[in-house]
Structure 1
Amino acid sequence: MGFKSKKYSIDSTDYQVGQDNITKWGMDVHNIVFTVSAGLSILFIVTLLLLDPGVAKGAIDSIKGAVLSNFDFLFMWGANALLLFAVALVFSPFGKIRLGGDKATPEYSTSSWIAMLFAAGMGIGLIFWGVAEPTAFYTDWYGTPLNVEAFTPEGRELALGATAFHWGLHAWATYGMTALCLAYFAYNKGLPLSMRSVFYPLLGDRVWGRVGDVIDVLTVLVTLFGLATSLGLGGTQAASGISYVFGFENSLYLQLFIIALIMGLAILSVTRGMDGGVKLLSNLNMVIAFVFLGLIAVLNFTTVLDSLATAVIGYVKNVIPLSQASGREDTTWLHGWTVFYWAWWVAYAPFFGMFVARISKGRTVREFVLYVLLVPTVVTTLWMSIFGGVAIEQIIDKVGLLGADQGITDVSLSLFYMLDAYPLGNILSIIAVVLIIVFFVTTLDSGSIVIDSMTAGGKLEVPMKQKIIWAIISGLIAMVMLWIGGTQSIQALQSITIIAALPFTIILLLACISLVKGLFTEIDKTKA
């Protein structure tokens, strides 16, 4: 049996998307979602302009701290539930269901598909935290996982294992289940590609009303603010790298120039379409990233092998205690790292899920879940253990700036400090800067496509002008934030995104229930 909707022809690709849309000035947008999202974004910026950035950040951070402390159980068990649900789907009869129907075929090769997963998901995070996070855990920069003693072999094992834990299965389960929900209801049930569609089995035709508008507006704002936050923080890291390598002053103007450059390149990428833009850049990203990773691995072959084994052992031994919220003594570390990460993955999940849903038609549920869970987890573990292991080894041996300082003094420069210890340090640093910029171009490109689709009522094809507008808006928000309050404003924006992740965690858990109700209709069809 299928769904019956008064507004859409369910189980058919012949639906009329955008009955609430308006067409004006060459644009095609959902009236309420676009207007409210744009209005709230402008209101937010104006409010921050009127407030002192430090005061605003302090107030927002206090709310964020309360959310992470009081609802840590929800974030922790929510992530556990999403991972268990993903594993259950692999071994269930639902695994053979194909996104788009039995005759659907993938639009992209597996290698290009995986490359785009990284471009939209965690690519830039690997560059930013690959050195900083394991080093922070090993040196007790902001607490240690499970209160292990810093600067010890046990501390090294847990530092690498906890990093793999943060960037591994739990994170990709959060991303993957969001993407699967969106893809299934869009391609198998003929619904618009929007978060409201996922809740049709639970809410019925009410999803086309105000309840659905609220869901989509919240999705747009979380995605927009998360994208602007990443862009702002990435711009500051790229500026730090360029300043360190070339000796330029790391000024506000350099940071704004880099963000403007990324925005311009993203607009160019958008105009080239999916194949000539995101797909091409994602493949280029993966080539550069693996060359970069390979160079570091060759230069530190023995260390790399030991670090990889240590990371896997540390992850397997500690995954259960690290996954628990109650009875922990390392609450400062738990809330500052794990709970924060789980909230951030949830906040970023609509953006990632929407983009991955667009490129995943033709994959079976089992294939989709296995690839999204395992391949990125293996690669991120490999990346984090190599860069983190080398950085920790430099600290132990007192090599380079990391060794001299016995840890990190500037997160944005931690990677460049590690690279500086090599004779080819400047060349490696230049590769790192290029990788950062290209990763952010693909992130902004895919982000503008996603936001545009959401504000157009879930349409897959929208006027090019709208994609460009959202790329500009995302870049401008990041630039305005830096201009009025520097990194304080960007961090305040990040805190707001984390706060918004609280209701969205509940939304994602309900989405999984809705997905199961939808998948059962596929089983019912085969019995009919």
Structure 2
Amino acid sequence: MLEKLQRALGLKTNPVIFFSSALLVLVFVVVSIAFTDQVDTVFRAASDWAITNLGWFYILGVTSFLVFLLWIAFSRYGHVRLGGKDSRPEYSNVSWFGMLFAAGIGTILMFWGVAEPVNHFANPPFSGAHDQVADAAESAGSSQEFAEQLREIPVGAGDTAPLSENAANEAIGFSLYHFGFHTWAIFALPALAFAYFAYKRGLPFRVSSIFHPLLGDRINGPIGKTIDIVAVIGTLFGVAVSIGLGTLQINSGLNQLFGFEIGATAQILIIAVVTTIATISVVTGLDKGIKWLSNINIWMAVGLLLVVLIAGSTVFLLRGVIESTGNYLSMLVPLSFWNDALPANDWGWQGSWTVFYWAWTITWAPFVGIFVARISKGRTVREFVMGVLGAPVVFSIIWFSIFGMSSINLEWSNPGSLVGPVVQEGDTAASLFAFLENFPAAEFLMALSVLIVVIFFTTSSDSASLVVDMLTSGNSVNPPVRQRVFWALLQGLVAATLIAATGEEALAALQQVITVIGLPFFLIAFVMMYSLVKALKRDTSDLELLPRRARAMLERERRERDKEAEVEPS
């Protein structure tokens, strides 16, 4: 029946995965609209349970991914090429990096580049004064009064005082922890597994393919299809949250520039426009669409970064980049294992920040992982890991150091200018624009920022459409364009419907959902590590595990022996 429907619609897909995923997503949207409170209650309870009882597992899991990737990159398997022995990268390093960044966390850096450092600066994670900060936000009559009350909050021994120098250092360190090596380890692990099984074993770009060493050809049966359906749903929900964040920020920017109304109607219109742009990008294809937009956007983002650096306290910020790097590296190991365990039985700050980030990010893992694998054929395992963990993380360090240190410096010189709107009023989406108001040509910079977010929004939607279609299309690496268009439109429909139904509460509800959905993805990630090592041991020869120079030397020696054998008299 499903195959007949597929033929009637002119599709080229795995009908069970395609139609089941689409139907379940649409059912969830309808049920969420009809029974918003009940759905929210169920997923909130499940999310709270997961955070309270399994938060430690999320923390340990992501750290394990990072350690595993570093080990495999510098092990003897680091020389294995993702493809044939003669395969070489299809994209230059610059284009590859731009596509990595745009498809990964470009939108998130724009959203959180100012907001997260300011939040942690005003309400430090290592502080026992979170309740006092909340009380001050309610009682203060103005932003300046709020900042003054924060400075007067007494803290216990060993705690970090709000708006202090220690709070500034920790704010940047935590921001980089959330968007540095750990985040990209979540992306790099599935990307490496997908690339290996696709280019070395010729398996389709599907999550079920990584189970091949365990299931064999049963990955094409009910178990494999169930895995892929879960991956499709998780990917759509993860992207939907990012679409929601990007929409809120675009709406806030347009409000600052043109007085554009902030509300559900405006946000639905924004989603419709950007989804249309993303659909056009889908139709133009990977090489023309995502690659072209990614290259343009990365240079615009760099331009915005340079403006903040040059127009701000340049020497202070350059010093801040170096110091922030050191703070991040010094905090990296402790934060990798910090579980907010004290006081006992009081899972506090980390449950609503780090654990949520990791659960949210891992729902992106199939999307970003398959997309990164798709553009990484021809690179060695070591080149792949160091590239995916290296270039984007370096950019994230520079970005958060400059935007974060600049926003903290601005708050020091003008108390309440940022902690007021971001922390007291909770208007996270407006944080970047409140920050840019303090620079020359503020309106131009705001407009540029809106454009950057729109393009990051577009490339994320475009990339997700490509990947979801690959997940549902079996062995077809380049399925019909109409299928990618369908997924692009469905992503926009999901976000727009939820916003129309329940406003901002819909996004909060969706965050609860993906926190729960993230749990099985963590379990799958551990299977990825086991399957990858098992496959590498079975598939690679001793010669392939040697460094390139050693292989070339052995090859020359072999050719010389063959020549000698040819001229040797019989």
Query: Under a length normalisation based on structure 1, what TM-score does the superposition of the two structures give?
Result: 0.92
* Pairing partner for 1:33 from 7, 17, 42: 17
Residue number among 368, 377, 400 corresponding to 1:384 in the alignment: 400
Deviations 1:17-59 (A, max 9, x none): xx999533221121211121111111101111211x3554344
Residues 68-109 of structure 1: per-residue CA shift (max 9 Å, x gap): 221112111111111011101121111111111111121111
Q: Secondary structure at the match of 1:47?
A: helix
Please report how far the alpha carbon of residue 313 of structure 1 lies from its aligned counterpart in structure 2 after TM superposition.
2.3
Output the amino acid matched with 1:317: S
Q: Which has the larger radius of gyration?
A: 2
User: Does 1:433 find its partner at 2:450?
Assistant: yes
1:191 aligns with 2:208: no
Partner of 2:177: 165
Q: 1:63 to 1:527 in 2, by over 3 A?
A: closer
Pairwise mapping of residues 39-188 of structure 1 onto structure 2 (< 5 A)? Answer: 39-51=23-35, 53-54=36-37, 56-140=39-123, 148-188=160-200
The one-letter code of the counterpart of 1:515 is L
3-state SS in 1 of match to 2:204: coil
Q: CA deviation at 1:321?
A: 2.0
Aligned to 1:422: 439
The structure 2 residue matched to 1:289, chosen from 285, 290, 301, is 301
1:6 maps to which residue? none
Amino acid corresponding to residue 359 of structure 2 in structure 1:
A
Counterpart of 1:455 (choices 455, 472, 475) is 472
Pair 1:210–1:525, CA change in 2 (3 A): farther
Aligned AA (1:457): G
Q: How does 1:497-512 map to 2 (within 5 A)?
A: 497-512=514-529
Q: In structure 2, what is the equivalent of residue 370 of structure 1?
A: 386
Conservation of the 8 A alpha-carbon contact between 1:147 and 1:329: no
Whether 1:227 and 2:239 are equivalent positions in the alignment is: yes
> How big is each residue's C-alpha offset from its partner over 1:270-304, in whole Å with a ceiling of 9 and x where there is no partner?
11111110000000110100000000010121231
Matched ranges for 1:280-319 at <5 A: 280-300=292-312, 301-319=314-332
Structure-1 separation of matches of 2:74 and 2:335: 25
CA gap of 1:150–1:215, structure 2 versus 1, over 3 A, is same
Structure-2 separation of matches of 1:344 and 1:263? 22
- d(CA) in 1 for partners of 2:475, 2:115: 38
Out of 351, 363, 385, the position equivalent to 1:335 is 351
Aligned partner of 1:515 among 532, 539, 543 = 532
Q: Is the partner of 2:272 in helix, strand or coil?
A: helix
Report the CA distance between 1:484 and its aligned residue: 0.3
1:254/1:404 Cα in 2 relative to 1: closer, same or farther (>3 Å)? closer
SS in structure 2 at match of 1:71: helix
Given that residues 80 and 544 in structure 2 are in contact (C-alpha distance below 8 angstroms), is that contact kept between their aligned partners in structure 1? no
Residue 224 of structure 1 aligns with an amino acid whose one-letter code is: L
Paired residues of 2:12 and 2:479 also in contact (CA < 8 A): yes
- Equivalent position amino acid for 1:29 in 2: T
Counterparts of 1:193-272 in structure 2, within 5 Å, are 193-272=205-284
89 and 21 in structure 1: CA distance in 2 versus 1, 3 angstrom threshold = farther
Corresponding residue of 1:324: 337
Alignment of 1:12-31 (within 5 A): 22-31=6-15
Unaligned runs of at least 5 residues, structure 1: 1-18
Q: Which amino acid aligns with 2:387?
A: Y
Distance across 1 between alignment mates of 2:422 and 2:12: 55
Q: For the residues of structure 1 that align with 2:445 and 2:274, how far apart are their CA atoms?
A: 21
Query: Matched residues, percent identical?
Result: 36
Give the stretch that moved more between structures: 311-320 or 29-38. Answer: 311-320
Residues 124 and 162, structure 2, Cα contact 8 Å, conserved in 1: no
**Deviation of 1:459 (Å):** 2.0
Task: Give TM-score, length-normalised by structure 2.
Answer: 0.86
| Residues 115, 422 of structure 2: 8 Å contact kept | no
Kept after mapping to 2: 8 A contact 1:21/1:28: no
Match of 1:5 in 2: none
Q: 1 CA distance for matches of 2:124 and 2:422?
A: 10
Name the CA distance, whole Å, in 2 between partners of 1:516 and 1:403.
Answer: 47
Distance 1:82 1:472 in 2: 33
d(CA) in 1 for partners of 2:43, 2:288: 40
Which secondary structure does the structure 2 equivalent of 1:499 belong to? helix
SS of 1:103's partner is: coil
Within 1, Cα distance between the matches of 2:206 and 2:540? Answer: 24
State how many pairs are aligned. Answer: 510
| Residue 363 of structure 2 corresponds to residue 347 of structure 1 | yes
- The corresponding residue for 2:486 is 469
Separation in structure 1 between the aligned mates of residue 204 and residue 63 of structure 2, nearest angstrom: 29
Q: Is the 8 A contact 1:137 1:144 kept in 2?
A: no
CA distance in 2, matches of 1:514, 1:195: 12
Q: 1:466 to 1:423 in 2, by over 3 A?
A: same
TM-aligned CA deviation for residue 408 of structure 1: 5.8
Instruction: Assess if the C-alpha contact under 8 Å between 2:340 and 2:349 holds in 1.
Output: no
What is the distance in 2 between the residues matched to 1:197 and 1:406?
Answer: 43
Larger CA deviation: 135-144 vs 175-184? 135-144
Q: What is the distance in 1 between the residues matched to 2:515 and 2:211?
A: 23
Following the alignment from structure 1 to structure 2, what is the Cα–Cα distance between the partners of residues 264 and 197?
Answer: 32
Is the CA contact (8 Å cut-off) linking 2:13 and 2:474 kept in structure 1? yes
Residue identity in the other structure for 1:448: S
- 1:193-217 deviation digits (Å, cap 9, x = unpaired): 1011111001222212111011101
